[in-house]
Amino acid sequence: MKSFPMFIRTTDRCVVIVGGGEAAAQKARLILKTDAALILVAPTLDPELADLVATGRATHHQCLSAGLFTKASFAFVATGCPGFDAAAYGLARAANCLVNVVDRPEMCEITTPAIVDRDPLVVAIGSEGTAPVLTRDVKSLLERLLSPNIGGLAALAGRLRPVAARHVPRENRRGLWAWALKGPPRAAWLRGAEREAARSIKDAILSGGPPQDAMAGQIAIIEAGSGASDLMTLRAVSRLQEADVIFHDAAVSEAVLELARRDAERVALHTSVCGWPAARTGSVILAQAREGRHVVRLCAGPAEDVLDAELAALHDPDIRLEIVPGVCRAIPQAQALCPVALSEAV
């Protein structure tokens, strides 16, 4: 990455937009989604921007000065005049204000992403200015995937977090929110039974955690397949995102491990540091699951190679064991059916 994605707090802060035409209005529409104070700088404003000033949503300055940028979180420059844009950029940078000059990527410390807004759940998609058409395409896909009311569930979780901190032991909190935001309460919320979902979450908080079956540990044995991260199945990625601890073969690529939860504990197996025998590996994995943790055993090769050696140690009727095959498992069968087409695709 050449740009680090980050959300900037706008409460009690201002954003400066230099320009009074349509390009400036486009940036103003973005900022209106936030609670930032909006400062417009231009000799004249088009009717849309003038209305923002008339209704008190923005303030207007006809003349540009360095002082306007000193307390701004960031600024947009959109005058359409190369000379004036450059002057405004220089004043903003002199005031240590992050700035975006429309259609001038060499003058952009910040870029505006495509946004999927399910406030307070917000998804930002960017391509570092290289492919805006692609970012808009990804945005369209996410708009269809995310239910319009999913933001309300996120807002409810935010309001209930202080209550959960008082009533739910620390070790049970992640399980609580995983159950609430991925389990039955979420399903109820998305089908419109919002009151039912809220009631079940509140009851779980007051009882100290989610239902007992939701706290049970799980083990997922995942094949990394060819080792390419873009060939991992959706289920494999989902299990990696849920994992508390990941036991992986040393040969598993870093690109595949990047798909996992950032704070998941990782244990590399069969290295000079960790050379446990298979039975020992299985018993350690099972012990982690019995503590209520979600455990992933990530295999560089076919799961059978692991199962033959480790499965006996993983048996426990109270622990859910799942095998997630890799994409490469399907290739021999598919090639037998259509060898020419598959070889051309490869």
Q: What are phi and psi of 146, to 5 degrees?
A: -95, 120
Do 54 and 48 contact (CB within 8 A), yes or no? no
- Given this model, what pLDDT does residue 131 score? 87
Give the residues of the chain that fall short of pLDDT 70. Answer: 270-279, 305-313, 328-346
Q: List helix spans (H) across the chain.
A: 22-31, 47-54, 82-94, 132-145, 150-167, 170-182, 184-190, 194-206, 234-242, 254-257, 278-290, 303-314, 331-337, 339-345
Burial of 130 (0-12, 13-18, 19+ CB in 10 A): exposed
For residue 9, CA distances in Å to 28, 69, 72, 93 come to 17, 17, 12, 20
- Given this model, what pLDDT does residue 342 score? 40
Model confidence pLDDT, tens digit, residues 66-83: 999 998 999 999 999 999
- Given this model, what pLDDT does residue 274 score? 57
- Given this model, what pLDDT does residue 308 score? 62
Q: Estimate the crossing angle of helix 194-206 against helix 170-182, to 10 degrees.
A: 170
**For the whole prediction, is pTM greater than 0.95?**
no
Map tokens 């900037």 to a residue: 8
Residue 58, number of CB atoms within 10 A of its CB: 22
Do 181 and 188 contact (CB within 8 A), yes or no? no
Model confidence pLDDT, tens digit, residues 49-60: 999 999 999 999
Do 131 and 161 contact (CB within 8 A), yes or no? no
- Given this model, what pLDDT does residue 293 score? 84
Distance CA 315, CA 282 (A): 9
Distance CA 114, CA 124 (A): 6
Q: List helix spans (H) across 243-317.
A: 254-257, 278-290, 303-314
Do 218 and 318 contact (CB within 8 A), yes or no? no
Do 176 and 205 contact (CB within 8 A), yes or no? yes
Model confidence pLDDT, tens digit, residues 174-207: 889 989 998 899 999 999 999 999 999 999 999 9
The length of the chain is: 346
User: What's the Rg (C-alpha) of the chain?
Assistant: 26
Buried b (16+ CB within 10 A) or exposed e, 239-263: bbebbbbbbbbeebeeebbebbeee
- Given this model, what pLDDT does residue 271 score? 56
